[in-house]
Amino acid sequence: MTTRRHFLQLSAAALAAQSPKLSANDKIQIAAIGIGGMGHEDITSALAAPGVALTAVADVYQGRLDRAKELWGKDLFTTRDYREVLGRPGIDAVLIATPDHWHAQIAIDAMKAGKHVYVEKPMVQDIADGKRLIEGEKSTGKICQVGSQRVSSIVYQKAKDLIKQGSIGQFNMIEAWWDRNSAIGAWQYSIPPDATPENIDWDRFLGSAPKRPFEPIRLFRWRNYQDYGTGVAGDLFVHLFSGMHFITGSLGPSRVYATGGLRFWKDGRDVPDVMIGLYDYPATADHPEFTLMLRVNFADGAGGSHVFRFVGPEGVLTVGNGVTIARQPRDTEPGYTIGTFPKAVQDQFLAEYQKQYPPTKPSADSIRPRTEERYLPPPGYNDHRDHHVNFFHAIRTKSAVVEDATFGFRAAGPALLSNLSYTQRKPLHWDPQSMNLKG
Ligand SMILES: NC(=O)c1ccc[n+]([C@@H]2O[C@H](COP(=O)([O-])OP(=O)(O)OC[C@H]3O[C@@H](n4cnc5c(N)ncnc54)[C@H](O)[C@@H]3O)[C@@H](O)[C@H]2O)c1
């Protein structure tokens, strides 16, 4: 077993040297760390890419290690201590899908150990860790793909192309909401009946979070607690930031304001279940300034909905399962509001107006269409698989990934700032270029 001390004594270079060189035909050996809901999905998508083999998994709950052997074979190496995975020489890359508070530490440890990293969103739980992770990626030369799969989606690529082609004119605002109305939607995930201290490495789950006695709800519903999660902003806004930054080429907002509260799911959680965020985006070479509005409501009595709208003067582009552009042409005449003027003034105004816009009889030709164009991906299309394919392609060809640590931090930063703005009840200023909090 690799102890913490032993692990720390090994230099980054020595550990990196353990990682074998890959030839184009070699299988990429992967390990997964944190194999709950998303860990399972990451493994499934990774194994759907050609030339990838799963050899080891780590999780602090024994039940998930047992389940991994049921699914991926009894020869799979399993451990409750992720450092044992990092100490295994044959492993080229790790998928990290732990609760948010572990992302930065495990990703940095993994890159120092010579492993390429696919780390789930939000890349970090704490703004201070963003630069640490970017530095870890640079200094080790390892590939780091952050797990916001929308940036690999052909649907998002289509939206990007359509906006660039001017399909809605210059967009002036973007709005998105992600509303739900169910217990599972509000993160009340199942707690297994064998969640005992014997089956769970409680201290390793807590990690750098405040020490507290064993309480399984905190592990299985970790999103509900600031100590381990990042609230609705880190869980959901972050997807909208990464997808929107990919489409628009934006680097991030310069001003962030968020408000909300815990309105309905009062189950002991310490994060809001309703949040609205407003963001000012500065002009870049790609676009003039615009405003973004994001919203999550976990108790939306109409059942909830998920919408992502790019609003421009010539149309509205909506991204969902596919892309839709709705257009309603503006009236060619400006119209008038003269009813409150004296009669003689009205007559004078009308005479002038009708000189410019002679009255015509409405006809079938004058009925203007409201149009809708729809672009749908092929049936069964899966952007998550494409995101993993992009990761493994980058490993084999030493090329750039679509969502490196800098891109990941540019999405996580404003999401985490939303939480800060909510707690401090004030707008915050951010430099999207240098990724620093201002003022
Ligand atoms: N990309 C996406 O669309 C997407 C979707 C869902 C979740 N996620 C992200 O994936 C991550 C995991 O979310 P989830 O829904 O799978 O949560 P989950 O609770 O289902 O799984 C987390 C797993 O990590 C394990 N774990 C906790 N501490 C650990 C440690 N120190 N070492 C190893 N394992 C540890 C837990 O036992 C659990 O099995 C989160 O960061 C979340 O934001 C991304």
Does the CB atom of residue 60 touch ligand 1 within 6 A?
yes
Look at ligand 1, atom 8, and give the residue with the nearest C-alpha.
38
Cβ(194)–Cβ(61) under 8 Å?
no
Which residue has tokens 């860790």? Answer: 129
Q: Are residues 288 and 416 in the same domain?
A: yes
Q: Are residues 235 and 312 in the same domain?
A: yes
Confidence of residue 209 (pLDDT cuts 50, 70, 90): very high
% of the chain residues with pLDDT over 70: 94
Domain count along the chain? 2
pLDDT at residue 369, as a whole number: 85
Q: Are residues 53 and 162 in the same domain?
A: no
Does the CB atom of residue 207 touch ligand 1 within 6 A?
yes
Does the CB atom of residue 308 touch ligand 1 within 6 A?
no
Q: Are residues 252 and 303 in the same domain?
A: yes
> Taking the model in full, what pTM does it have?
0.94
Look at ligand 1, atom 10, and give the residue with the nearest C-alpha.
97
Instruction: Verify cis geometry, omega within 30 degrees of 0, for the bond prior to 122.
Output: yes
Look at ligand 1, atom 18, and give the residue with the nearest C-alpha.
36
CA of 206 to the centre of ligand 1 (A): 13
Does the CB atom of residue 117 touch ligand 1 within 6 A?
no
Q: Are residues 276 and 423 in the same domain?
A: yes
Q: Are residues 106 and 192 in the same domain?
A: no
Cβ(57)–Cβ(35) under 8 Å?
yes
Q: What is the pLDDT of residues 398-438, one digit of tens each?
A: 999 999 999 999 999 999 999 999 999 999 999 999 999 99
pLDDT at residue 23, as a whole number: 55
Look at ligand 1, atom 40, and give the residue with the nearest C-alpha.
99
Task: Say which residues have a Cβ less than 8 Å from residue 363's Cβ, sequence separation at least 6.
Answer: none
Q: Are residues 169 and 256 in the same domain?
A: yes
Mean pLDDT value across residues 214-234 = 98
Which residue has tokens 């990724």? Answer: 435
**Among 384, 372, 368, 279, residue whose Cα is nearest residue 318:** 372
CA of 226 to the centre of ligand 1 (A): 15
* Average pLDDT across the chain, whole number: 94
Q: Are residues 112 and 174 in the same domain?
A: no
Q: Are residues 53 and 161 in the same domain?
A: no
| CATH number, position 285 | 3.30.360.10
Q: What is the pLDDT of residues 112-136, one digit of tens each?
A: 999 999 999 999 999 999 999 999 9
Mean pLDDT value across residues 158-185 = 98
User: Is residue 25's pLDDT more than 90?
Assistant: no
User: Is residue 282's pLDDT more than 80?
Assistant: yes
Q: Are residues 88 and 164 in the same domain?
A: no
| Substitution site in 33, 35, 38 for ligand 1 pocket (most atoms within 8 Å of beta carbon) | 38
Q: Are residues 160 and 114 in the same domain?
A: no
Confidence of residue 289 (pLDDT cuts 50, 70, 90): very high
pLDDT at residue 302, as a whole number: 97
From the CA of 35, give the closest atom in ligand 1.
39
Look at ligand 1, atom 13, and give the residue with the nearest C-alpha.
38
Range of the domain at 48: 4-151+388-397
93-96 sheet: strands from edge to edge: 77-79, 52-58, 28-33, 93-96, 116-120, 144-147
Q: Are residues 226 and 245 in the same domain?
A: yes
Question: Which token pair is 184?
Answer: 């599972």
Which residue has tokens 């909510």? Answer: 422
CA of 105 to the centre of ligand 1 (A): 14
